Structure 1
């Protein structure tokens, strides 16, 4: 099944978790991805929050798999900042392979953040954000 952003925004947390655990890691992506934060899934606020986050804070990520890094697109201007190491590893959610976005050695402001992504449709990834070992939010990346 091919998914789109709206379908993910309409899902509950349980549905997002089930989709993530049922999906393969996929390749480490390359290039620029449009990102959408998925906060308060399954509520009427999810879409409004996603739009606000996208406009004011985070628009997506730019992956450079040759160097094993990415940069986030942040601020209303899409400035490329906040670097993460990118590699394959085991998910903290289900211990199966995922693509890990690790900020622990590359970012002063986000060193406690770890993201995990899996391929849910061609050029479309679902992600989980952890703060320390605590799950924080979900997000998606469309290439």
Structure 2
């Protein structure tokens, strides 16, 4: 099955979790990715919420695989800020390999945030956001 952001927004939380569990970590991404927050997955609100967040808060991430870092694109102007280290490690969801986006040592405003991503289709990554160890939301990155 081909997964894109539209398909992911339609899936229920349990389906997103199963897809994440069944997907490989993939290669460390490189370059600019369009980001989509997945909040209230599988509901009529998912796409509207995603559009609002993209307009006003978060548009995606810019990866530098050779340096093992990324910056988020935020604000309506796409400002590149909020640095994270990028590396492979075990997922908090299922203890299998994933790509970790770690803000603990690089950001004052997001030091308690950890993202995990896995490749669900060519150029498409599904992500999980944790605040400390509590799961918050999912997101999609499209390269």
Q: TM-score range by the shorter chain?
A: over 0.9
What displacement does 1:107 show? 0.2
1:88-99 alignment runs, 5 A limit: 88-99=88-99
CA distance in 2, matches of 1:12, 1:115: 20
CA distance in 2, matches of 1:44, 1:142: 22
Unaligned 5+ runs, structure 1: none
Correspondence 1:61 to 2:61: yes
What is the SS of the residue equivalent to 1:36?
strand
Q: TM-score, normalised by structure 1?
A: 0.99
RMSD, matched Cα: 0.5
Query: Which stretches of structure 1, 4 residues or longer, exceed 6 Å deviation after superposition?
Result: none
The 10-residue stretch of structure 1 (23-32 or 1-10) with the greater mean CA deviation from structure 2 = 1-10
Unaligned 5+ runs, structure 2: none
1:109-124 alignment runs, 5 A limit: 109-124=109-124
CA distance in 2, matches of 1:106, 1:129: 16
Aligned length: 143
Correspondence 1:40 to 2:36: no
